[in-house]
Structure 1
């Protein structure tokens, strides 16, 4: 299990993360925590080698990190919040897990179940990864976004 969680927003979040990682590492082997921000080439290498990428955000305006994982051909398990559903196609490119601030244990269990589902079915994870890559390139590449922006300008300006 590789946890990449650098640049926490507050010292409290940093301490909470450190405690959670220490507890996890004490309960199972193979937990690695990357605390520092990674170079883009390293991020691509890690994402490309992963079976599944997990984004447990409770707020995310778009979820570029999910697009990065999808572009690397990695299945995504993410929170069903904010703009993430605009990016992750539930059941096709990954899974969306509902977030309920009053049931964080249920949210954690939902994330874990979806991750375990994909780890137990590598063919499905690979298929979702391929579908995610296709979606990222077709819908969110710079050339696609530029063309859509030009189309919008043309329609507004006549």
Structure 2
């Protein structure tokens, strides 16, 4: 089966989402072509030599990084990525697979479908904030939902996301629910339980409002002030530098707090140094960090939002919080009962096994077959 993947940015340093999907499809014999921009995940124009180095493990897939630029649109706070289309997009593909609501790639896929008469599959990745904006601004909705209305299949990460799509006029019978996948074998190699007498609390992710770091700062400030054998480590891309600096300002005076630059490319290493992972997001679509941390045997304290509350059973395989006070309450409970860290970590790992890529990939193949039958 020949599949054209249209992706705004394809940074193979991340073994997640579309990167891992293309890799696994290649191993299963699919003929894949990826057309994407020259932007890396850290928002810079990368060199061809860098992409070549990062993509060494792709032996058969054709990955083309096209001339690119950023453009301001009324649909996003940040400039959108665009890349020059290539004549190769009109070749004879069985499926064009594009990624994410409101992206240049999803709009380009619509052109390929109309001109090339190609079957079209779209990933939704529709957040609650994007859904609300689409409902309240008809022009926004009309422009961005069009690719999903003409697609042959659309997939969402959760049942809530599916309801959002139906609410925007996408036919329910063509929407698939395919959860995020993780490399369970890789992350389950991390040890469970404390390595020493100190407890390490970590945050990994982008530094911007939607990731909710401000929601955990008061609890961490109190803990660092009162507890000696606690270490707090943050890592991730400083997407909003002003927000990041404001969030971390009150913690930086404590010697037990450290920002480790960007270890997002090495999540396995980061999870291994932590006992507790905080995920305070305001909204999420996939929340893959939750599942990676659970597979690593870590206790996750996360926002009580979808789809996180589909992964975690509160107080059994992790903790779900609704406000800042609960962040402190659950963290304090683990500090005072360190045996819980290992106990919950083992249950969390067992739950995360359900999201192993080796299981999830079958759903994609089933969706592809349904489209071209």
In which range does the TM-score fall when normalised by the shorter chain? 0.7 to 0.9
Query: How far does residue 156 in structure 1 lie from its aligned partner after superposition?
Result: 8.2
Aligned to 2:106: none
Question: CA RMSD for the aligned pairs?
Answer: 2.4
Distance in 2 between the 1:72 and 1:134 partners? 10
- 1:68-107 equivalences in 2 (<5 Å): 68-98=292-322, 107=323
> What stretches of structure 2 of length at least 5 have no aligned partner?
1-230
* Distance in 2 between residues matched to 1:133 and 1:81, nearest whole Å: 20
Which protein is richer in helix relative to its size? Answer: 1
Q: How far apart are the structure 1 equivalents of 2:247 and 2:283?
A: 17
Structure with greater proportional strand content: 2
Give per-residue Cα distances to partners, 1:76-99, cap 9 Å, x unaligned: 11111232112222122100001x
- TM-score, length-scaled by structure 1: 0.76
Quick check: 1:37 aligned with 2:258?
no
Aligned match of 2:281: 57
Please state whether the residue corresponding to 1:109 is helix, strand or coil. helix
2:235–2:263 Cα contact (<8 Å) kept: no
Alignment coverage as a number of residue pairs: 143
Given that 2:237 and 2:262 are in contact with CA atoms closer than 8 Å, whether structure 1 keeps it comes out as: yes
Which structure ranks higher in relative contact order (CA pairs < 8 Å, sequence separation ≥ 6)?
1
Q: Distance in 1 between matches of 2:268 and 2:316?
A: 21
Contact 2:263/2:270 (CA < 8 Å) preserved in 1? Answer: no
Structure-2 residue corresponding to 1:66 = 290
Unaligned runs of 5+ in 1: 99-106
Larger Rg: 2
Runs of 4+ off more than 6 Å: 153-158
